[in-house]
């Protein structure tokens, strides 16, 4: 049973919610979405969980550290990854979701997929509550109709091309204006189809150069014009470790810095590998905001 959280001083100017299986999940204080990768080739090796015990341990860890949503992905989206078919993705998810539903029946699950068939399977047969689509409905044109029919929150991300081609699609006329235009069109299309709960994800690391990622982060507050929940996912990404001269395994500090900035500039959901540190960032930024007069 989901509980409505009391109004937080984190941001008194808005009250955002998403509908999770008939209950309103309050976003007046930001939430953490913990990443569960059931892939053998995720860019961050420490996040790969494939055995039954690894899956149980990881979900338990996310929940114990304060994560509210589990985002499960069966397909790597790094540029060098091999594209799975929807049936291959379903087979991976069927195994993991069966374990999670048995061990953690009340957990809020999100599925990271761009296939309509996968989303339908996960929601209708496995109780998944949120669709997280990196492609904004571009890699499977049925996705918007599926999201409308399933009537669950839909994470709308900005990306060009596919994970395999996105690195070559970074030529924008005006980066921020182009991305805002993309979201205005997509949100209008989703609303026309009857999708009520839309979460915006700017798509850090997808079809953007390092410089463009930081320009986008610096412009994060502008997404408030959409009056929709904002998800930020920068956990251990290349935009951090290429700038600092490190690797993904050494990028927790940089991740926390950017998560803190995102929280100060309107982020409602942090999608992360490191849940404890993200929860702490939320608590600290929330406390500081009590003194904003």
Catalytic residues: 237, 271
Q: How would DSSP label each residue in 38-57?
A: --S--SSGGGB--SHHHHHH
Show the DSSP H helices in the chain as ranges: 52-64, 86-103, 116-126, 143-150, 175-193, 210-218, 238-244, 252-264, 275-289
Q: Which residues contact 277 (CB under 8 A, 6 or more apart)?
A: 252, 255, 256, 259
- Tell me, what DSSP letter sits at residue 139? S
Q: How many residues does the chain have?
A: 293
Instruction: Report residue 229: phi and psi, to 5°.
Output: -55, 145
Strand partners, 35: 71
Strand partners, 20: 23
């Amino acid at each position: 049973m989901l509980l409505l959280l009391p109004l937080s001083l984190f941001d008194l100017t808005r009250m955002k919610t998403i509908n999770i299986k008939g209950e309103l999940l309050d976003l007046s204080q930001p939430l953490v979405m913990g990443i569960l990768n059931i892939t053998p080739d995720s860019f961050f090796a420490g996040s790969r969980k494939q055995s039954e015990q690894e899956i149980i341990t990881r979900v338990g860890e996310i929940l114990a550290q304060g994560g509210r949503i589990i985002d499960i992905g069966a397909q790597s989206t790094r540029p060098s990854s091999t594209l799975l078919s929807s049936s291959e993705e379903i087979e991976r998810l069927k195994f993991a979701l069966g374990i999670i539903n048995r061990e953690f029946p009340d957990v809020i699950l999100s599925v990271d997929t761009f296939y309509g068939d996968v989303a339908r399977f996960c929601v209708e047969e496995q109780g998944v509550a949120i669709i997280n689509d990196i492609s904004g409905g571009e890699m499977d044109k049925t996705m918007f109709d599926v999201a409308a029919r399933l009537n669950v929150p839909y994470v709308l991300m900005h990306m060009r091309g596919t994970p395999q081609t996105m690195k070559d699609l970074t030529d924008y006329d005006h980066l921020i204006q182009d991305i805002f235009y993309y979201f205005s069109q997509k949100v209008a299309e989703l609303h026309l189809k009857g999708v009520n709960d839309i979460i915006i994800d700017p798509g850090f690391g997808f079809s953007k150069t390092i410089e463009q990622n930081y320009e986008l982060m610096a412009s994060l507050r502008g997404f408030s014009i959409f009056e929709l929940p904002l998800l930020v996912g920068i956990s251990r990404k290349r935009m951090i470790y290429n700038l600092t001269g490190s690797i993904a395994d050494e990028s927790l500090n940089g991740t926390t810095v950017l998560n803190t900035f995102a929280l100060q500039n309107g982020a409602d959901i942090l999608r992360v590998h490191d849940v404890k540190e993200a929860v702490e960032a939320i608590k600290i930024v929330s406390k500081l905001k009590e003194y904003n007069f």
